[in-house]
Each structure stands twice: as structure tokens, then as C-alpha cells.
Structure 1
Amino acid sequence: MSEGKILKREPAFQGKVIDVAVETVELPDGSQVDLEMVRHPGGAAAVALDDQDRVCLLRQYRHASGGWLWELPAGRIDPGETPFATAQRELLEEAGLQAEDWTELGVMHSSPGIFTEVIHLWFARGLTSVPVEHEHGEVIEVHWMPLVQALDWCNDGNITDSKTLAGLYRAGALIRNRLEILSEDPGC
């Protein structure tokens, strides 16, 4: 089967961040369907871990979710910006941190049935504190907690944000894999 293609696009709304339209799409099986699509430039998030294995989490007010959420430092990719540069910028602006060591943790699709948004996840170590530069309209508290506790919060429902769940689980798996490799190396 071939990939789907857009046959017709009827714009409904153009905002600062999103573009909403009804798209008539030919699916890979040849059938046609009208889909309401929200186009988004994508984003990036950083799992920042300090030398005491504490992760930086933001407690952020989100009107759309009806209150406060626990999240990783993250944000929208600006025009001309790479996902990596976005992760670096958002870690700086939201958490007041710079990192020396970065490892890519892959991507995630936030809601692929309707949104085109792809979020790039990064693991950051070698942290240095710098002044926080929250944007207008951001209500954020910066918190540090043991990664083990954050993973427990993922499992018990205290953390519900999808990018944060994916980022923390992937960072936890990366650390476990590195520890297994070290424990198997007879030279360690």
C-alpha cells in the first residue's frame, strides 16, 4: 500500500501556534475520508538529571487541563530552530539550567489522530544553574525530586502529561541499560 495523500484542504483557523483545517485525505487503501487536522510545528522536552539523580520537574498551570500539571521543561520549536536547540532553550528559560551532556531519547506523537505535533525528547546531564527566564503567561514552579520518585509518580498517576511520561520512562530505561552494561564489564 502507498502512503496517504491530501486531496483537498479547507482552512478553518490560523493562529500563532496552530493551523486547523478539514483535510480530504486518500488513505493507503484507496479510501477517502475528511479529517479535522491541527497542524503544529512540534516541540522538544528535556529530562534534566543532576549529580544526585534528581530530575528537574516543573509544576505548571495549564488552563486546558483545568489546573496544575507536573511536566518536563519543554516548548514549541520556533521557525528555523532545530529540536535540539529548542530543548536547550526551554531548559534554560523554564528551569534556569544549561547542560553539558545531551543524549537523544527519540520522538513521541502527542495525539496522532488529530495533531501533527511531534515532540523530540532529550536527556541532559552536567547541569549548571543560570537565571530563569519564564515567558509572559507561564506560571511555573521548578522542583527537584529523585528520578525513582518521579517514575513512581508516573506509575501512580500523579504525572499525567504524555511527554513527561515518555521522557521519564525513556531516561529511566537509558540509565538501567547503562548500569547493566557497566555491571557486565569485568573491567569495572
Structure 2
Amino acid sequence: MIRRLKSAASPVYGSAKPRVAWRPPLNARRSLYRGRVVDLGMEAVCLPDGRTLELEVVRHPGGAAVVALNAQHEICLLRQYRHAGGGWLWELPAGKLEPGEAALTTAQRELEEEAGLRAVHWQALANVLTTPGFCDEAIHLFLARELHTVPVQHQEHECIEVHWFPFTAALAMAQRGEIRDAKTLLGLFYTATYGADHTP
């Protein structure tokens, strides 16, 4: 079961017409590096003002992250070692989309593998871009309720500890700067704004 949030449309300032999504035409892409996670290339694009130039762009399949709340209104946070991030970080259970995989399927798989949890009720919170200046990675955020435990299945490259905090305590951690991971901060924000008191 999945529920999608309803929200007011964002205003378009300075125009009476609705904003139309625009994507620059891709004239050419020259691959520089293709790895297990990312694809880095030089892309020739035409800007809205007519100029053309080459941009370094990282293509990423995207991912899904889960705000898992139990009956005591506690949130599951992972303490995870991230080499690129400089050490240990507090994060939501999350992972990369596999080819052709729905975001909800990714979220359900990662919640089970990383946190050892399954959820009955799912709510879509948001779809956010992580670093749009050079990367197209999008993270789908979900709220998961009515949880049941299953065995964890951590991957070989993962170094993860599973912790539970009262949701208000997690918000306080974010305010103190103890949570720095962007998807986790956004998950807390959307849950506090729209979903924390939602009754499935």
C-alpha cells in the first residue's frame, strides 16, 4: 500500500503561464569514465539563451531512501562509514536503483537489507535532486510505517550500525549539525512537515 502526498502547486513568479519543464538538447556525449556507480562524460548542450558549450556531467541511476517509523514514533537511522564523506555519518536506509526497477521496490529492498525491516504501509514523500550542478542523481524519499523485523543482509562494502531514536531527538540532532547527509535531512523535513502524524 502506497500513498502519495498532495501539496499546493509552486507559484510561478513573474508569469501567468505555468512553468514548462525544459531540458537542453543533447548534441553529443563523450564518455570519460564508466564505473559501477557513476558515468562521467563531456556533454555538448545548447543553453536556453542559444549559447552552446561542453559540460562535465555525471549520470547516475538514482536511488531511494526510507524514513522508517515504528509504533513508538522512533526513526531508524544508520551509522554508516563513508570514505568519500570523511568518516561516520547518520543516514536513512537507502540504495541505488537497479536498471528498470521501480523506486518503491528499491526502497523496500534497501530497508530490508540494511535495517532488517519490512513495512506494511508506504507513503511517497518527495523526489529530490542531490547535486544538479553536475549530476542527475535523484533520490525518491518514502515514509514506511507498521514495521516488522527480518534478518539484515549488509553488503561486503558496507560498514553499518542500526540505531533507533525518538523522531524529535533526530530532529534535534539535525539542528545541532550531527546529521549532515542531505537525503536524511530532507527525509526528516518532509516527514515532520507532511507525514510524521499520518495515520495509514
TM-score (norm 2): 0.86
Partner of 2:7: none
Return the offset for 1:156. 1.5
Is the CA contact 1:26–1:33 (under 8 Å) kept in the aligned structure 2?
yes
Return the offset for 1:134. 0.3
In the alignment, structure 1 residue 18 sits paired with structure 2 residue 38: yes
Partner of 2:59: 39
Partner of 1:167: 187
Is the CA contact 1:3–1:28 (under 8 Å) kept in the aligned structure 2?
no
Is the CA contact 1:3–1:27 (under 8 Å) kept in the aligned structure 2?
no
In the alignment, structure 1 residue 87 sits paired with structure 2 residue 126: no
Partner of 1:6: 26
How many aligned residue pairs are there? 179
> Aligned match of 1:71 in 82, 86, 91?
91
Superposed CA deviations along residues 29-87 of structure 1, whole A, max 9, x for unmatched, are 21112111000000000000000110000000000011000000000001121100000
Return the offset for 1:130. 0.5
More helix by share: 1
The amino acid across from 1:17 in the alignment is V
Kindly, what percent of the aligned residue pairs are identical?
50
Partner of 1:185: none
In the alignment, structure 1 residue 124 sits paired with structure 2 residue 172: no
Superposed CA deviations along residues 108-159 of structure 1, whole A, max 9, x for unmatched, are 1010001110000000000000100001110000000011011111122100
Return the offset for 1:175. 3.7
Return the offset for 1:178. 4.7
Q: What SS is found at the alignment partner of 2:100?
A: coil
Report the Cα distance in structure 2 between the residues aligned to 1:86 and 1:178, rounded to whole angstroms: 22
Report the Cα distance in structure 1 between the residues aligned to 2:166 and 2:52, rounded to whole angstroms: 49
Report the Cα distance in structure 2 between the residues aligned to 1:102 and 1:139, rounded to whole angstroms: 26
Moved more, 29-38 or 139-148: 29-38
Q: Structure 1 runs of 4+ off > 3 angstroms? A: 175-179
TM-score (norm 1): 0.91
Gaps of 5+ in 2: 1-19
